[in-house]
Amino acid sequence: MNSTQVAALYVGVNIALLVVLAVWVMMHRRSAQVSVGDGGNDTLALRIRTHGNASEYVPAFLVGLFMTAALGSSAMLVHALGASFTAGRLLHAVGLSASIMASRALGMLLTWVPMLIVAGLLIWQGSF
């Protein structure tokens, strides 16, 4: 696989994660009979935030990952960044939904570190 194919893999996986989280919210909306907002339902509020948190981080990272690949980063580097970010998003979603602080903390670390590396690479690749 070349680096853009690797990036495409992680784009697909993370889009699927967003859809799974959205369905998870929708299922609880139906059972709680809440169509807008959280209706004061703590479980629904938590699910909404779990999906919302992923929605806040995933798009920017995926654009950055694809740009890094398109600008010449190796397939191995793109794999490392994509895999660690994706693992971080999964750990964070599990930790947030089950109130496991260690999972949330590790998930955020595995989210932020690849994002910062991608940001640095893009600044470097765009400057030289």
CATH number at residue 81: 1.20.120.550
Comparing C-alpha atoms, which of 66, 32, 39, 38 is closest to residue 50? 38
Comparing C-alpha atoms, which of 53, 37, 45, 38 is closest to residue 93? 53
Is the pTM higher than 0.85? The answer reads yes
Q: Which domain holds residue 79?
A: 3-127
As for how many domains the chain has, the answer is: 1
**Where on the phi/psi map is residue 105: left (φ > 0), alpha (ψ -120 to 50), or beta?**
alpha
- Residue range 45-95, pLDDT digits in tens: 989 998 999 999 999 999 999 999 999 999 999 999 999 999 999 999 998
Pick 28 or 79 by higher pLDDT: 79
